Amino acid sequence: MGGAAPIPASQGGSDVINGEMFIGSRSVRGTSGEARAVNPTTGETIEPAYRGATLAELDEACRLAWEAFDPYRSLEPEARAKFLEAIAQNILDIGDELIERAMAESGLPRPRLEGERGRTVGQLRLFAQVVRDGRYLNLRIDPAQPERKPLPRVDLRLRMIPLGPVAVFGASNFPLAFSVAGGDTASALAAGCPVVAKAHPAHPGTSELVGRAIQKAVQDSGLPEGVFSLIFDSGYEIGQALVADPRIKAVGFTGSRRGGLALMKIAQRRDEPIPVYAEMSSINPVILFPGALVERGEQIAQGFVTSLLMGSGQFCTSPGLILAIEGEALDTFIAGAGSALENSNAGTMLTPGIHQAYVEGVERLRSHTQVKPIAHGKAGERYQGVPSLFSTSAEAFLADKALAEEVFGSTSLVVRCRDEAELARVLDSLEGQLTASLHIAEADHDDARKLIPVLERKVGRILVNGFGTGVEVAPAMVHGGPFPSTSDGRSTSVGTLAIDRFLRPVSYQDMPEALLPAELRDSNPLGIDRLVDGKPVPGAA
C-alpha cells in the first residue's frame, strides 16, 4: 500500500491482538493464506497478519456448535440473560484499545465508534431483558375440551424454539454493531442458538478483541465451548463452506447484493435449505412534497446533506434518491443542497475496495447522458470519496433501471417529476427498500396519504420529516424491507423482533405435565405471559 511500513499490533496489555481466531475454547492461528488490515486514512498495513481457517477447523467449530446447541438452548432464562450481559461488560472492559483499533482499521472517527460500542453493548443488554421477559416464546395453551361436541378437543400447547447454530458474517460498515458481537449475534444467542461468526477482513483486530470478550463470557458462564466460535477466511472458501455445513441452521449477513445472493444460492442448494437473513441493497427514497418545500425547503436541504455525508454515506439507510415535483420550490432546495455539498470535505471510505466501487458508481452517473451534475464536494486523497449530487428526469429514470442502483457512499440522485402521477410511477418502479422518508407540511397530508399504501409495499420503515440514517434499537424498530433491501422482508435485523428470525414454533399435543417444557406447564413456574384459550394471561402476579 504505497510502500508504507506496517503498523505494529498495539502494545501494553494488548497481547490479545495476535492474529488468532477461536474454535470454541481454543485460540488458533490460521494457516490458509495471509491478510492484514489496511488503515484507510493512511494506507498503511496493520500488524499482525491474519490467516484463514482450514476446512478441518471449520468442521470442528460447527461440530462444537451443534454439540452445544441442546445444552445451551435448555438454559434457564436468567443464565442466558446473564451471559449476554457478561459479553456486554467484557466489551466495555477492553477499554480504549478497542476504539483505537477500530479507528485504525476503519478510518471512522472516535465519537462514531464510541457511539457504536454503546449501541453494541445496548443491544446485548436489551436482548437480556427480552430473554428474561420470555414473551418472545409466544406461549399458547389451548386446554383440552373432552366434553366438546361433536368431537372433543385435544390439549395443545405451543412455544418457539431456536433453529440451531447460526452463521454470522461481520459487516464492513459497522465493525462493532453489525459484526462479531453485533445485532445478529446478540439476537441469535438470545434465541438460544450457538454462533459461528466469520470476521470481516477489513477489521480483523477489532474482531479478535471482541471475539475474545465473547469467548471469556462463555468460559466464565460455564457454558459449552461451542456456544461461540470466530473464524477468519483468506478468500471465500471458508465462508461458503460455513453456509453449506449441515449443522448450520440459519445465516445472518450484512453486505453487498452480490455477496448476499451468493450465500442464498448456497443455502438453497443444500440437502436441507436454510434461511439466509441478508441485508443487501437500498437507496432509501426521500419524497419532498410541495407544501414542505415551500415552507422549509432550505432547512430540508441542510438536513439532507447532513444525512448524506454521515459516515461518508456508508450507511445502508443513506438517502440515495430524492423524488419531487419540479418547480421553483424544488430549484430552491437543489440550490441549497448543492451549496452545502460544495463546501463539504471528502470522506474516508472504509476500505480500498469500497472506495473503488464508489468512484466507479459516481462515474457511471457522471457519464450518463440523461444525468446532470448538481454539485461535488471538495477533492480528497487516497481512499476518500468526494460527495456528489446529480439530477435527472422521471422519464429518464423510468427508462433506465441502472439509475436506481445503489452507489454506496455520499452520492444522491434527484429525480424531477412533472406531477404527482409521475412521482407515483417512479415510486412504484422502485425495488424494495429499507426506508422511505416523507417531507410534508399539513397541506400535503392528502397527497401523502395516497402514497402510503405504495410505500408500505416497498419499504420496511416510513419516516416523516426526517432521514433514515440513525437506527434506534427499540422494540418497534424495523430494519429490513422487501427484496433486495433484505432477502426476507418479513424480518428485521434491529430491535427486539430480530430474535424471531432464529426461532420456529413447536406444538405439544396431549403431553403429560411432567414432560412439558416448564414454561408450558399449568403451574407456569417461570412466570411468563401466555395466551390461554385465546386470551392473554399474565405470568407474574
Residues annotated as part of the active site: 279, 316
> Around Cβ 321, how many Cβ atoms within 10 Å?
23
Residue 48 has φ and ψ, to the nearest 5°, of -90, 175
Per-residue three-class SS string for 105-142: HHCCCHHHHHHHHHHHHHHHHHHHHHHHHCHHHCCEEE
Q: How wide is the angle at C-alpha 461 spanned by C-alphas 277 and 501, nearest 5°?
A: 25
> Around Cβ 465, how many Cβ atoms within 10 Å?
14
DSSP code, position 95: T
**3 state DSSP class of 174:** coil
Q: Which amino acid is at 323?
A: L
Q: Which residues, at least 6 apart from 34, have a Cβ–Cβ distance to it below 8 Å? A: 49, 50, 51, 234
Nearest-Å Rg of the Cα atoms of the chain is 25
Measured between alpha carbons, how far is 209 from 469 in angstroms, rounded to an integer? Answer: 27
Measured between alpha carbons, how far is 450 from 237 in angstroms, rounded to an integer? Answer: 48
Query: Is 85:121 a contact under the CB 8 Å cutoff?
Result: no
Q: Which residues, at least 6 apart from 58, have a Cβ–Cβ distance to it below 8 Å? A: 231, 238, 241, 242, 245
> Around Cβ 452, how many Cβ atoms within 10 Å?
12
Find cell 461518508 and name the residue.
312
Find cell 416523516 and name the residue.
464
> Around Cβ 447, how many Cβ atoms within 10 Å?
18
User: Residue 52 class from Cβ within 10 Å (0-12 exposed, 13-18 middle, 19+ buried)?
Assistant: buried
Among 198, 37, 4, 36, which Cα is nearest to 106's? 37
DSSP code, position 9: P
Query: Is 337:309 a contact under the CB 8 Å cutoff?
Result: no
Per-residue three-class SS string for 54-67: CHHHHHHHHHHHHH
DSSP code, position 491: -
Query: Is 182:258 a contact under the CB 8 Å cutoff?
Result: no
Q: How far is CA 24 from CA 93, 366, 509, in A?
A: 21, 50, 37
Q: Which residues, at least 6 apart from 295, have a Cβ–Cβ distance to it below 8 Å? A: 441
C-alpha cell at 526: 417461570
State which H helix or E strand residue 213 sits in: helix 204-220
DSSP strand pairing (26-29 vs 285-288)? unpaired
C-alpha cell at 202: 477489513
